[in-house]
Structure 1
C-alpha cells in the first residue's frame, strides 16, 4: 500500500466544485492515478464548498439545550442546540451525554462526537456535508469523466471516543469502496474456519489521517494505492452501520 497527498490543491471556497478541483490538481500536477486507487477526502472541504457554515448568532438555544449545557458547560449552549437540530429530535433524546462528552445519533444511523459539528472560531461552526455519499459519488464520477480512471472515494471526518483523548478519523460517505471487508482463516489448533469482519472504510480513513493531519495543513485529499477491493458504485456508508435509522 502507498499513500500520497494530492498536491497543489487551492483553499476550497463556497461554491467550488470539489471533484473538478481535485481532477485539475491531478492533471496539472501529473499525479499517477490508476483504476482502483482510492481518494480519501476530508469532509470539511466539502462542507465549505456547500456553504455549511453557521453563525452562532443565528441560533437561539432552547430549554433542552440549556439543560444539557449545565452538564457540559464547556460547550457553547448554541452549539448544543445545533446538535439537537441536526439529530432531528427536539427532545434531545438522540444526544448521549457522559461527563464532558456529547455524542449524537444522526438521521442516517451514525453516531458522531458533537454530531460532527466543528467550531471554526468563537462565533462560527461548520456542519457535516448535506449528503456525504452523494458527494463521494460526484467526486468519483467527475474523476472518471476528467481523468478517465475509476477510483473509490471515502469522505472522512474526525471523531473521538469517550474513553480516549484526542481524535481519530472515520468514514462518513462512500463511493465504490465497500464499507466492510470479510475474511476467513483456519484455526491452526482446531481446524475450524473463523470468519472476521472489518470496517474497511474506517481503516482507509484512519490510514489517510496520517497524511492529512488536522485543520490548516491543506492536505485534504489523500490517494491510497495498492489496496485490492471489489468496486461497487452502489456502496454507501449505511452498509457499515448496525443501527437502523428511525
Structure 2
C-alpha cells in the first residue's frame, strides 16, 4: 500500500461565516488539485472554529471565584481562560478539570468524553482565545456533504487539534471529530501458543490526524487542510469520535445521529 499526503493549495484566510466545504472545493478546482472518492480530508480545528465564530474576547469573560482560586495555584493560566475551560466542560463545579499543580497543568474532560489540555482552548493574543468547534462530528459531516455536492466525490473528514501529554514535551495532532472514517482499526492475529484469535485496536482516526500533521504544521503555516490518499477503509456514515473513547457520557451512549448543537452563549 502506498499513501499520499498533500496540503490542499491556495486555501484563503478563513473568516467567520465561511463555508469550509465550499472553500475546499473551490480551491481544489482553481488549483487543478484532484480529490478522489475515498480520500480523507484532515481539517485543522482552528479553521473550523474561526468559520463558526468561536473566537472569544477575554474582556467579556468574568472569572468565577473557582477560576480565581485555580489561578492562585496555577498562576501562569489567565483566570478568564480558566473560566472558559470550566464552561467548556459543562460542569460549573470544576470537577471535570484535571489539575496538576506541580506541572502547572490543566486538562479538561469535555461533554463528549474527550480529555484535552486546556479544554482545547487556543490563546490567539492577550485578549482573545479560540474555543473548539461546537460539534466537530457535525462540522466534519457538513464538509463531506458539501464536497460531495460540489465535486461529486465522497470523502471522509477528520477534524484535528493539537494536544500534549503531561509527561512529554511538545504536542501531536489528534482527531476531535470525524465523519465517514472508522474511529478504530481492528487487527486480528493468531496466538501461536493457543491457536486463539487475538484482536487489537488502534485509534485509526488519531493515526491519520498525526499523519496529516506532518504536512499541516502549526497555526500560521496556512496549510489547514490536508488530503490523504491511498488508505483502505469502509465508509461509515454513523462513525463518530465517541467510537474511539473508553468512557462515553451517558447522553452519548445511544445516540448514533449527528445533531445540530443547542444554542449556547459564548460570551
Q: Taking structure 1 as the reference length, what is the TM-score of the superposition? A: 0.97
Q: Distance in 2 between matches of 1:36 and 1:121?
A: 38
1:242 CA displacement: 1.2
2:143 is aligned with 1:134: no
Aligned match of 1:150: 154
1:98-131 Cα offsets, whole Å, 9 max, x none, are 1311100011111110000000001100000111
Q: Secondary structure at the match of 2:76?
A: coil
Q: Secondary structure at the match of 2:248?
A: coil
The aligned runs of 1:62-101 (5 Å cut-off) are 62-98=64-100, 99=102, 100-101=104-105
Q: Distance in 1 between matches of 2:109 and 2:122?
A: 16
Q: Identify unmatched segments of 5+ residues in structure 1.
A: none
Q: Secondary structure at the match of 1:112?
A: strand
1:192 CA displacement: 3.5
Aligned match of 2:26: 24
1:95 CA displacement: 0.2
Q: Secondary structure at the match of 2:51?
A: helix
Which shifted more, 188-197 or 231-240? 188-197
Q: Distance in 2 between matches of 1:187 and 1:2?
A: 33
2:241 is aligned with 1:237: yes
Q: Taking structure 2 as the reference length, what is the TM-score of the superposition? A: 0.90
1:189 CA displacement: 5.1
Aligned residues: 246
